[in-house]
Amino acid sequence: MEPIGRPGKPVRTDTLKKPELDFNKPTVFILGAGASFPYGLPLGSGLKKSMLLLENRHGTSSLQDFGVDIELTHKFFDTIKFSSFSTIDILLEKKTRFREIGAFCIALALLPLEVHDRLFPGHDWYPLFYDLLNLEGDNDLVSSISVVTLNYDRSLEHFLAKNIEYNCDDNLVKRSMQRLTGLSIVHAHGSLGPYPKIPYGSSRSPDSKQFLSAAKKAADKIKIVSDNLDESEDFMHAQQKIKEAENVVIIGFGYDPRTLELLFKDTDPSKKTVCGTACGLDESDREQVTEFFSGNIHFAPEDIIADKFVHLLVSGFDKERNTLKDS
């Protein structure tokens, strides 16, 4: 992890006491690749491996029909194979000539991984988040909770909508669906398509021209870290949600320094209650992230992944009364 350029208070790297979050206050959940991983979507290194399979699956001739430069495509796949870049994001940041073909291949790799059956029956942290929203109860939290996701997939919005259909009392389905439309889910880097207009799991024939066309349209909406995100409406919306929030909950994010800087631009994180997962962070990483947040971040223990982390956070909140439970 590169140094993060924000001056901070003296660094604490121990695991801090679990914060008591009042979800009545503006709260934003920031989601990284680890948040979608339990549902069949890859982490950064996994995405690189998935993209290596594309050359054999599609061949360069089929890609050529969509305006792809064949010579450049060969060089791109060679670079994936033989370079030492750990993730596609880093590769595309350093090798800018591959920007367009890279976005296309990201969409080609991810669209087939949006699989409905990997979400249901409900498991891991999505059901916990659904319960927290309290869509079926008298006091829902849709107005105070928002989501900023750095992922392109639409697994969360699909789960929430279908979980109402499958598990909600019939007399509450219509009201719950209406409430769900008020939940703000911002894809800071773009998405694989607007949901539900582009259905989840609709790309089941990855060799068809229809699939390639859908991937090309999705690629046009994808942003990467090296893009000029200040001109992206989605990214500016994400920045605004973070700026307005009093609580920041970070799940499955590797705390990329540049992304942190951009997300919290013109925002003082020391004035917020911040907590996040810490899977894969070594001591040096934790020090840098803690310094960025001016010592004001509550890390979960490294072995606590998304579902246990969310369970710990919501266990101190009484959703029936929308208040913190008595100690």
- CATH number reported for the structural domain that contains residue 165 in this entry: 3.40.50.1220
Note the pLDDT of residue 58: 61
- 173, 217: one domain: no
Same domain, 62 and 15: no
Query: Is residue 130 classed as helix, strand or coil in its secondary structure?
Result: helix
Specify whether 53 is located in the same domain as 66: yes
Angle, CA of 322, 326 and 327, to the nearest 5°: 135
Our measurement of the distance from residue 304's CA atom to the centroid of its chain's CA atoms, rounded to an integer in Å, reads 18
Residue bearing the bigger pLDDT, 9 or 318: 318
Domain check: are 258 and 286 in the same one? Answer: yes
Average pLDDT over residues 55-66: 66
- Residues 265, 216 share a domain: no
Domain membership of residue 168 (yes or no) is yes
Position 196 in a domain: no
My answer on whether 36 and 140 are in the same domain is: yes
**What is the number of structural domains in the chain?**
2
**Pairwise CA distance, residues 48 & 91, whole Å:** 10
pLDDT tens-digit series, residues 150-166: 999 999 999 999 999 99
> 316 by DSSP, 3-state: which?
coil
| pLDDT band, residue 59 (cuts 50/70/90) | low
Residue 327's pLDDT is: 41
182 and 298 belong to one structural domain: yes
Whether 249 maps to a domain, the answer reads yes
The pLDDT, as a whole number, for residue 3 is 45
Distance from C-alpha of 138 to C-alpha of 298, rounded to nearest angstrom: 31
The answer as to whether 194 is a domain residue is no
236 found inside a domain: yes
- At residue 157, what are phi and psi to the nearest 5 degrees? -65, -35
Q: Is residue 195 part of a domain?
A: no
Do 238 and 293 fall into the same domain?
yes
Instruction: Report the DSSP pairing between strands 27-31 and 323-324.
Output: unpaired
239 found inside a domain: yes
Query: What does pLDDT average to over the chain?
Result: 86
Q: What number of helices (H) and strands (E) belong to the chain?
A: 14, 8
Q: Please state, in angstroms and as integers, the Cα–Cα distance from residue 9 to each residue in 77, 127, 148, 165, 295, following that order.
A: 44, 37, 26, 48, 6
User: Per-residue b/e over 12-24, b at no fewer than 16 CB within 10 Å?
Assistant: ebeeeeebebbbb
Range of the domain at 174: 1-40+117-189+224-327
Domain assignment of residue 314, yes or no:
yes
Shared domain for 85 and 217, answered yes or no, is: yes
Per residue in 248-304, pLDDT tens? 999 999 999 989 999 999 999 989 999 999 998 999 999 999 999 999 899 988 888
Residue 66 sits in the same domain as residue 215: yes
Same domain, 244 and 96: no
Q: With 80 as the cut, is the pLDDT of residue 14 above it?
A: no
Same domain, residue pair 14 and 75: no
